[in-house]
Amino acid sequence: MDVEFGSFETELNRGFLQVLVLVALERKMYGYGMIKLFEQTGYAVEENTLYPLLRRLEKNGWIKSEWDVGEDRPKKYYIITNGGASVRERALAIWTGQSEILNKMKEANRHA
């Protein structure tokens, strides 16, 4: 049961994490900083999941990156692109729509 739910949760999180990253990258951030920020909001993300996701989003042209080698340790910073911002707005609209559908369904069940 737990294993099955774990897989189900992973599927649910897959889309959510992409939207969350697009929202977070309104300002310049690097991977570890993003993980800490998500943790503060109560959302834990596996580090080995976040970096491949960032790579895919960059490949799609939705975010861009640059290395900052000025600090003690080189860091790769990411920020959303104009194309990514457009995708984010559409994704949020879908998310809101789905949330409303769920609420309506729950409401309908309550009166059934």
Partner 1 sequence: MHENLERYLKEISHYLAVKQGADEILAEIRSHILEKAEGESGGVTAESLDRTIAGYGRPRDVAAKYMDGDEIISPTFRKYLFRYTAMLFAIHFVLTVLAVSFRVSIVAIPFFFIPKMSAFWAIPYIFMALVYDFGVVALILYLVTQRKGEVRLPWFGIRLARPGESGLKKPKRAVLAMLIAFFGVFLYILLRYHTLFFYTVNGSRPESFLNPAASVFFSILFLAAFACDIIGYWIRFLFNTAWVTLVQNTIVLLILWIVWNSPIKPEYRTVPGVDLRLVGGGLVLFFIIVNVFRFLRSLVHVTREMSLP
Candidates 32, 86, 92, 105; binder of partner 1 (CB under 8 A) is 32
Lookup result for tokens 């949760």: 9
Using the minimum distance from each CB to partner 1, give the nearer residue, 4 or 72. 72
Task: Confirm or reject binding of residue 10 to partner 1 (CB under 8 A).
Answer: no
* Residue 28, CA distances (Å) to 16, 34, 55, 63 in order: 20, 10, 15, 10
Using the minimum distance from each CB to partner 1, give the nearer residue, 13 or 85. 13
Choose the binding region for partner 1 from 20-28, 69-77, 79-87, 89-97 (rule: CB under 8 A): 69-77
Least Å distance between CB 18 and partner 1? 13
Are 78 and 29 contacting, i.e. CB atoms less than 8 angstroms apart?
Answer: yes
Residue 57: count other Cβ atoms within 10 Å of its Cβ. Answer: 22
Task: Confirm or reject binding of residue 74 to partner 1 (CB under 8 A).
Answer: yes
Task: Confirm or reject binding of residue 51 to partner 1 (CB under 8 A).
Answer: yes
- Would strands 63-68 and 29-30 be described as parallel, antiparallel, or unpaired? unpaired
Task: Confirm or reject binding of residue 66 to partner 1 (CB under 8 A).
Answer: no
Binding site for partner 1 (CB under 8 A): 31-32, 46-49, 51-52, 55-56, 73-76
